A and B are shown apart, each in its own frame.
Chain A
Amino acid sequence: MIPVSLTIKGLYSYQEETTIDFTNLTAAGLFGIFGAVGSGKSTILEAISFALYGETERLNKLDKRSYNMMNLRSKIFFINFIFTCGDCDHKYKFTVSARRSSKNFNDGGKIERLAYIWDDNWIPTSSDAEKILGLSYDNFKRTIIIPQGKFQEFLQLKEGERVQMLKEIFSLEKFELGPKVSKLSKENEIRISNLQGQMQSLPLHDHELLKDKDEQIFFLNKKVINQTNNFKIKQEEEKALQDIKGLFADVNAKIIALNTLQSKQNSIDNLDLQIKQFEQCEQVFKYPIENRNRLQQSIKNQQIETKELQVNQTSFETTIKTESAKADKLKDSYTNRELLLQKASELEKIILIKPLQEIIFKLTARIEKGSIIVKNEEKNLEAVKEQLLTVKSAITSAEQSLPDAALLVTISNWFNNKTQLQTNLVKAEQELSEAAGRASKAEADIKIKLAQLPTEIKLAGFPASLAIVKDETDRVNKEYDEQLQVLNNNQSHLKLSQKLDEFAKSLTEDSECPLCGATHHPKVFSALSVTEDLVQKQATIEELNSQKQLLNNILINLSGIYSNYETYSAQFNQKQQELNKQKNDLNNCINSFPFAGYSVEDEPLVRKQLAEIEQKNSEIKKLRKQRDDKDKELDEAGKKIATYKAGIEKFKTERAQHEGQSETLKNQVLLHVLEVETIKPVTELTNSASAFKVAHVQVTKEFEQAQKALQDNTNHLSALNGRLQELQKQISVNIDQKEGLDKQIAGLLAAEGYQTEQQVEQVLSTKLDIKQEKNNVEIFRQQLHTASVQLQEASGKVEGKEYSEQSHETLKTTLAALSKELADNTEMLVTERYELQELKQHMQMRSELQKDLDKLTVRAENLKVLGNLFRTGGFVNYVSSVYLQNLLNSANQRFYKMTRQKLMLELAEDNSFMVRDFMNNGEVRSVKTLSGGRTFQAALSLALALADNIQHLTKSKQNFFFLDEGFGSLDK
């Protein structure tokens, strides 16, 4: 894993958003993060771990992480960690966020952790960092980001934990084969049991048994062959008898069938005769009789129609005469009908002229009225123009009387500035006074403390700085130390004298002096009592120490007070300078008053003039408003006059148009007297026009109807005359044809031997399905012929042959007995053969099963061996020790150099870490005996070796390793 960037906000001490770009840092190969205690160094690592795994070293899941991890002044916290990993340097982003509840401060909200992978844009992916990095959280802490206090963990892990860790990192679970062997063993045992079960039901191989079976089958087979041959002979004899029996039965059946057909012969012959008679009559008489009858009917119908037409002819002739008279009567009215339409049209025009005359009258009145209004408005406009000139003149005179407003405003600003400077001066004086008070108080405090100093401290006047006091106190302290040194020496001397005195007092004559060995003691040392001196010296020492302590305490107090004093003094000086500056500024301001005609004392005058300007401005503003109003009024009056004039012109145009229309219409009235008609009301005129129109329509309609009826009836009469002539011709022709046919029928009756036409009609009226009946007759004759021929054939086949029913039955019984015996023996043979085959198969099967059983037994033995080898993770431990040994070799590359070839890591029998000491006969000892620094070197070498190998495992191009205060816990 190579970190790219980390963004943190609201996490622990990171209130504001902070982004760390690792790109340049990791490119440098080695980098460090430095900062004061509590500045958030470990938070960086914790943020990475939390983003990746949702786990943190400081807080467990029950510790309300969202609340406790969130900065107390933040409402949200989030982590955004981007990194690359894997052989293709896939880029991942892990984000964590939580939002504090707005209602409950203690509720840090739900933590949301998401992951993305970069593929042109961020695509959501699984947030399982263990899958992405190939490391569990625990191993991540041991190999990539090692938290505080965890650095030695791998070095000091117990064997089981270390094996577990190596199993997880290097996926050594695949070497945990015990369960698989156990599974295979169980399957093998089941298969053995299964085989044994199968073999129990199978016979052992028996050669004698097989031989007996073969002989038995041979004899049985021979017997079946003989019986089969005998059966076939008898079967053929029986078949011959069965055939003869069938032939005789066939002859009898055919005789019966022939007899049945012959019994129907007479009735069929009669039917045949009847059919032939019908067909002959139909052929000879049917057409002439039907034609004659049709002609007869036609003549009858034509005669009826002739009579009806003659009646209609008389009726039409009468109607035509009546209608001709009516048309002659309507002809004059019809010829003059257009005058009616013209009268109606002229009345309609008079109706149109009447409203036009009214409109013209109204328009004339409005034009006259509008002209009067325009004159009045023009007078009003002149009056407003005069008022406007008056207001403009007033504005001009007011503006000319205004003083110089810009100058007055500038002077006013100068006075404002002066007032501000005066206010600042007062404020500066007040602040100076306060600063002086604080400095005086601090000085008084210093004086009180100085008065508490020992009398040895000699200070001339009030010391201006703490350094002077410190120099003096250092001098006195030094004197105290010298005095203490002297006193301590004296005290030691006194204590020695006291001891010697005690020793001398214990000496007796003739006893050996332990110092010089003399037995004679002529001048024994004698010291005066020193106890009192010792007590006095001790009291002096304590007093001096007390004085020193007092001195130090006062000095500490003075340090604080002097600090305040210096601050306040500095503030006083600063305020003094500010006051001076304010005074100078004010003086400069007053001395540089630049306005001619005014003095520094003229502030009230300036204010008064400004007020006057304001008042005059107000008046001018009012006048300007009046001017604007008059301008507006003038404008509106002009617009109004223009509008009125335009209206009058419009009315005049309309009046001219209507007058033109009226004159045109009047010129078109010819048949009426206009003066008379215009007096009449419009309703009367409208009714008269409508009456003329109706009369025109009625005359036209009646005349045209009469003409049309006359024409129609004339046409009908003409057609009717034509039809009468045609009918009379047809009747004459049909009568001639009918007489010819009557003669032809009489000749045919005589030729065919019929007396009357009724006899023929009787024959033809017979109801027979001639086609069906003819078919029945034909079928019968064919059946009769076929039966005769078949009977002859069957009789020929049995000629010279005999059949005995008894002999046939006897033969059948014999054949059935033979068949049963043969079937029994055949079944017995098949059974014997099957049993033999099955026996052989079972014996073969048992033999093969035995071979399988032998193999499985060997397999069981081998599985047992493997099971013992893999029991309790033996193989995993072995592989783990191999990996561990290799890991140690890798770690020693660094550790051996770090220790300047003095130490090397080794692996003990129990896989615990040992160290070989090249400086002590190459002896081996536990890593626990290493010093703190050496332990760090060993742990660092191991951690780097692990990181190297994880890089190799994850196929990453680079490796990354974060160590949080590796030295911090070495000497625990």
Chain B
Amino acid sequence: MAWLQNNQQALVEITMVTNEFLSAKDRKALNEAHPAIVNIIPEVKNKAFVLNQQGAIDLSKSIEQLFTEYFYRSKGQKPDIAMLELFKEVLGTED
């Protein structure tokens, strides 16, 4: 902030490295501290908010894995062997 106040004539781009997200208040304070801030680039350290770097679609995940995940999400437990075998049989069934 001191630097901003001492360099009022410069055009400024700031990268803000923070633990949490920037608030409207933070932005307002920065903009009041300097009249020519061109851009503020937020960089949140908290990993929970950082972009998931696994960008490509994971098409290698098998249908059995997807079913196990879906079953777990729906029933709160993993499917037993009989259920998985039955699922495979369903997959092999023709319409």
The interface of chain A, by Cβ under 8 A from chain B, is 170, 174-175, 177, 179-181, 183-184, 858-859, 862-863, 865-866, 869, 874-875, 878-879, 882-883, 886-887, 889-890, 892-893, 896, 900-902, 904, 916, 918-923, 945, 948-949, 952-953
User: Do A896 and B49 touch across chains, with their CB atoms under 8 A apart?
Assistant: no
Alpha-carbon gap, A945 to B52, bound state (A): 14
Q: Complex Cα distance A190/B45, Å?
A: 61
Q: In the complex, which of the residues B27, B54, B70 contacts A869, with contact meaning CB atoms closer than 8 Å? A: B70
Closest B residue to A896 using CB positions? B51
| Bound-complex Cα distance A878 to B86 (A) | 20
Whether A865 contacts B95 by the Cβ 8 Å rule is: no
B86 lies within 8 A of A892 (CB): no
- Interface bits B18-32 vs A (CB < 8 Å: 1, else 0): 001111100100000
A918 & B42 in contact (Cβ 8 Å cutoff) = yes
Question: Please, which residues of chain B bring their CB within 8 A of the CB of A879?
Answer: 66, 70
A selection of 26 A-B contacts at a CB cut-off of 8 Å is A174-B63, A175-B63, A180-B95, A184-B90, A859-B86, A862-B82, A866-B87, A869-B74, A875-B66, A875-B67, A879-B66, A886-B54, A889-B51, A890-B55, A892-B55, A896-B51, A904-B51, A918-B22, A919-B22, A919-B42, A920-B23, A921-B21, A921-B22, A949-B57, A949-B59, A952-B57
**Neighbouring A residues of B83 by C-beta, 8 Å:** 862, 865-866
Q: Which residues of B have CB within 8 Å of A883?
A: 57
What's the Cα separation between A896 and B90 when bound, in Å? 41
Interchain CB contact (< 8 A) of A887 among B21, B40, B57, B67: B57
Contact A886 B57 (CB under 8 A): yes
The residue in B21, B24, B49 that gathers the most chain A C-beta atoms within 10 A of its C-beta is: B21
Contact B90 A177 (CB under 8 A): yes
Q: Is the CB of B66 within 8 A of A948?
A: no
Residue in contact with B93 in the complex, picked from A183, A859, A892, A948, CB distance below 8 Å: A183
Give B86's nearest chain A residue, CB to CB. A862
Q: Confirm or deny: B2 has a beta carbon within 8 angstroms of a beta carbon on chain A.
A: no
CA gap between A180 and B27 in the complex, in Å: 56
Cβ of B33 under 8 Å from chain A: no
A901–B70 CB distance below 8 A: no
Residue B1 CB within 8 A of the other chain:
no
Residues of A within 8 A of B54 (CB): 886, 889
Q: In the bound complex, how far is the Cα of B89 from the Cα of A896, in angstroms?
A: 43
Query: From B74, which residue of chain A is reached at the shortest CB distance?
Result: A869
Report yes or no: A878 in contact with B27, Cβ–Cβ below 8 A.
no
- Min CB distance B55 to A, Å, is 4
**How far is B57's CA from A889's CA once the two chains are assembled, in angstroms?**
8
How far, in whole Å, are A887 and B73 apart by their CA atoms in the complex?
21
Beyond contacts A174-B91, A863-B86, A889-B55: 18 other A-B pairs, Cβ-Cβ < 8 A, are A170-B59, A177-B90, A179-B95, A862-B83, A866-B90, A875-B66, A879-B66, A883-B57, A889-B52, A892-B51, A892-B55, A900-B39, A904-B51, A919-B42, A920-B24, A921-B23, A923-B21, A952-B59
A181 touches B43 (CB 8 A): no
Report the nearest A residue to B48, measured CB to CB.
Answer: A922
Shortest distance from the beta carbon of B75 to any chain A beta carbon, whole Å: 8
CB-nearest residue of chain B to A923: B21
Inter-chain CA distance A170–B58, complex, in Å, is: 12
Q: Which residues from A are CB-within-8-Å of B74?
A: 869, 874
Q: Which residues of B contact A859 (CB under 8 A)?
A: 86
Tell me which residues across on chain A come within 8 A of B82, comparing CB atoms: 858, 862
Q: Give the complex CA separation of A181 and B87 in angstroms.
A: 9
Q: Contacts of A183 on B, CB cut-off 8 Å? A: 93, 95
The docked-state distance in angstroms from the alpha carbon of A896 to that of B82 is 45
For B63, what are the chain A residues with a Cβ–Cβ distance below 8 Å?
Answer: 174-175
Q: Which of B20, B41, B55, B66 is close to A893, meaning CB atoms less than 8 Å apart?
A: B55
B70 touches A875 (CB 8 A): yes
CB distance A869 to B66 under 8 Å?
no
Q: Is B44 an interface residue (CB 8 A)?
A: yes
Q: How far is the CA of A878 from the CA of B23 in the complex (A)?
A: 34
Complex Cα spacing A918 to B75, Å: 35
Supposing A889-B55, A921-B23 touch, asked if A181 and B70 sit within 8 A by C-beta, the answer is no
Residues of B close to A918: CB separation below 8 A: 21-22, 42, 44, 49
The smallest beta-carbon distance between A488 and chain B, in angstroms, is 35
- Which of A874, A901, A916, A952 has the largest count of B CB atoms less than 10 A from its CB? A901
A422 to chain B, nearest CB (A): 78
The verdict on A919 contacting B40 (CB below 8 Å), with A862-B83, A878-B70 known, is yes
Residues of A within 8 A of B24 (CB): 919-921
A73 CB to closest chain B CB (Å) equals 49
Report B-chain residues with C-beta under 8 Å of the C-beta of A893. 51, 55
B41 to chain A, nearest CB (A): 5
CA–CA, A869 and B68, complex, Å: 12
B43 contacts across to A, CB distance below 8 A? 901
A180-B41 contact in complex given A896-B51, A922-B21, A952-B56, C-beta closer than 8 Å: no
- Given the complex of chains A and B, what is the CA–CA distance between A170 and B66 in angstroms? 15
Distance in angstroms from B20 CB to nearest chain A CB is 8
Within the assembled complex, what's the spacing in Å between the Cα atoms of A181 and B91?
9
Of all chain B residues, the one with the shortest Cβ separation from A917 is B21
Partner of B89, one of A184, A865, A904: A184
Q: Report the bound CA distance from A920 to B26 in whole Å.
A: 9
List, in ascending order, chain B residues with CB within 8 A of A886's CB.
Answer: 54, 56-58
Pick the residue among B49, B66, B73, B91 that contacts A922 (CB under 8 A): B49
Instruction: Identify the 7 closest CB pairs spanning chains A and B, nearest first.
Output: A922-B21, A886-B57, A918-B42, A890-B55, A893-B55, A180-B93, A889-B52
- Known: A181-B90, A875-B67. Is A919-B27 also a contact (CB below 8 A)? yes
Min distance, Cβ B27 to any Cβ of chain A, angstroms? 6
Docked CA distance A892–B83 (Å): 37
Q: How far, in Å, is B56 (CB) from chain A's closest CB?
A: 6
